[in-house]
Amino acid sequence: MPSKKPATTRIRTATIERKTGETEIALTLDLDGTGVYDVDTGNGFLDHMVSQISRHGLIDINLKAKGDVHVGWHHLVEDVAITLGRAFNEALGDARGIRRMGHAIVPLDETLAMVSLDCSGRGYAVIMTTLDDTMVETLPGALIKHFFESFALEGKINLHAQIMTGVSPHHKAEALCKALARSLRDALEADPRAPSSIPSTKGTLNG
């Protein structure tokens, strides 16, 4: 059975410590993990989102974050997504041997979510959550969209995400995270027909 890991000896991990006047974040990420996570951001639903990405993407994530949440959750959510994106891009490296693109349609009870992405080296995001004017447990719904946008731009991923149908705000956000995870999992796996090639006619995905 062919390996699902690209034919490279490089370990696809990253560790980032990011400290600003608004937040303090420590993150270790392993793209070739088993979905093990230890996440503590101080916001239960944000923890839930990141944990879903880890578990269903088989990406090990150890994340500790704190911030100026007395002014709201915006800074923390944004900076967690920025740090995750930067760590993802660093761990991915030159993307040699991967499939590069992935997509998933994920159901969660009455909700159906779609994600399609390309680890193209160019960050772009089209995110349609239908959550902008809604609270999602402990988070304003607009921050769900912003989380996806920030992750895509910093991760240099072309990301399209959409809620196709649904009622529950919780289900919508969770289904989007699961769809993102499954799409990343597909994109990061080894291409058995091109295990040592960079998946681009340019010969690079870094510029």
Task: Give CA–CA dist 62/60, Å, rounded.
Answer: 7
Q: Strands 139-140 and 111-118, how do they pair?
A: unpaired
Token output for 201:
């006619």
Q: Which CATH superfamily is domain 13-188 in?
A: Imidazole glycerol phosphate dehydratase; domain 1 (3.30.230.40)
Query: Can you read off the two tokens belonging to residue 150?
Result: 């920030």
pLDDT top residue among 205 and 98: 98
Q: Which DSSP state fits 190?
A: B
Strands 111-118 and 101-108: antiparallel
pTM of this structure: 0.93
At 5 the pLDDT is: 62
The pLDDT of residue 123 is 95
d(CA 112, CA 171): 9
Please give the sequence-ordered ranges of beta strands (E in DSSP) within the chain, or none if there are none.
13-19, 23-30, 37-40, 60-67, 101-108, 111-118, 124-128, 135-136, 139-140, 158-165
The residue-averaged pLDDT of 173-197 equals 94
pLDDT at position 206: 77
Kindly indicate the confidence band of residue 194, based on its pLDDT and cuts at 50, 70 and 90.
Answer: confident
Q: What is the pLDDT of residues 24-43, one digit of tens each?
A: 999 999 999 999 999 999 99
The whole-angstrom separation of Cα 95 and Cα 120 is: 9
pLDDT average, residue stretch 59-68: 98
CA separation (Å) from 81 to 65, 95, 117, 125, 198?
11, 21, 16, 13, 26
Residue pLDDT, tens place only, 128-181: 999 999 999 999 999 999 999 999 999 999 999 999 999 999 999 999 999 999
The per-residue pLDDT for 167 is: 98
pLDDT at 202: 73
| Complete DSSP assignment for 68-119 | -GGG-SHHHHHHHHHHHHHHHHHHHTT-TTB--EEEEEEEETTEEEEEEEE-
pLDDT tens per residue across span 64-113: 999 999 999 999 999 999 999 999 999 999 888 899 999 999 999 999 99
